[in-house]
Amino acid sequence: MRDCTLSVPDGHLVALVGPNGAGKTTLLNIAVGLTLPTQGEITVLGGVPVGSPEALDRIAYVAQDMPLYRNLSVADMLHMTRNLNHGFDVTYARRRLDDLGIGQQHKTGKLSGGQRAQLALTLALARHPRLLVLDEPTASLDPVARHDFMATVVTAMADDGVSVVLSSHALAELERVADYLVLLVGGSVRVDGSVGDLLQRHRLVTGPADLPIDRRWTVVESRRAGSQQILLVRVDGPGSVLPDKWEARPVGVEELALAYLRRATDRIRPVAVEATA
């Protein structure tokens, strides 16, 4: 990774998006203290050094492969996690697993993919972290299991005030839950801002192919459809009046992210949008 400078706001569900090899997992591993940066620095939780005892106690991490011991029972996993983590709330974990219908006598390896994901998430949430880091946690799950997993994450944010950083390729899913977007391409930040402000700053505009492009727009992606040109643009200047003969509509998170990802090899100026109160 290089030139990766960003601040992740507290109290948000931050979607970390990018193609394979963009540096998402590396960034998350550094954030949770599993990897040391070769240059630069990273702090968490308002200035706490990564890897410090304070950071380790207040950050929980669920990796894509959900490293659970398949030969251990669910009860054994709870016992082991309690012994390894200060402040692990075993009562909370047991109650949550009971609500999910996950029996503690079952071997972890015999659970379904969705149940294993929920077990990994329960072990993380029972530490009552301030920051929950999720690296592609739903990649191998079916749609129902993905929905249930994300519903649990959103509930934890509402009930416990936990902040979340979520790396995922499921853009449609992120559109429903994320309120902050970071897009990495080639190890650098390409887009960084609150979802609401980013969507407000971008439009999909359509007009005759020979129309000049408004100078207040930065074209993220363009294509032709017969005699029409279709542009996904970023509006850099003031004013919201659309020039004559152009039509515009809002864009969604998935459409916005895909446009930037398709331009991954081009040098597009990074977008950083301040959140509004």
Angle ∠(139,122,35) on CA atoms, nearest 5: 65
For position 240, what pLDDT does the model report?
60
For position 165, what pLDDT does the model report?
92
Using alpha carbons only, how large is the chain's radius of gyration in Å? 21
For position 269, what pLDDT does the model report?
47
Provide the mean pLDDT of the chain.
Answer: 84
For position 11, what pLDDT does the model report?
82
Largest CA distance in the chain: 69
- Tell me the pLDDT tens digit for each residue of 216-236: 888 999 988 889 999 999 886
Instruction: Check residues 241 and 171 and name the one with the higher pLDDT.
Output: 171
For position 40, what pLDDT does the model report?
78
Please tell me the distance from the alpha carbon of residue 153 to that of residue 164, in angstroms, as a whole number: 8
Domains of the chain (ranges, CATH numbers): 13-186 (3.40.50.300), 195-273 (no CATH)
Torsion sign across C-alpha atoms 204, 208, 209, 210: negative
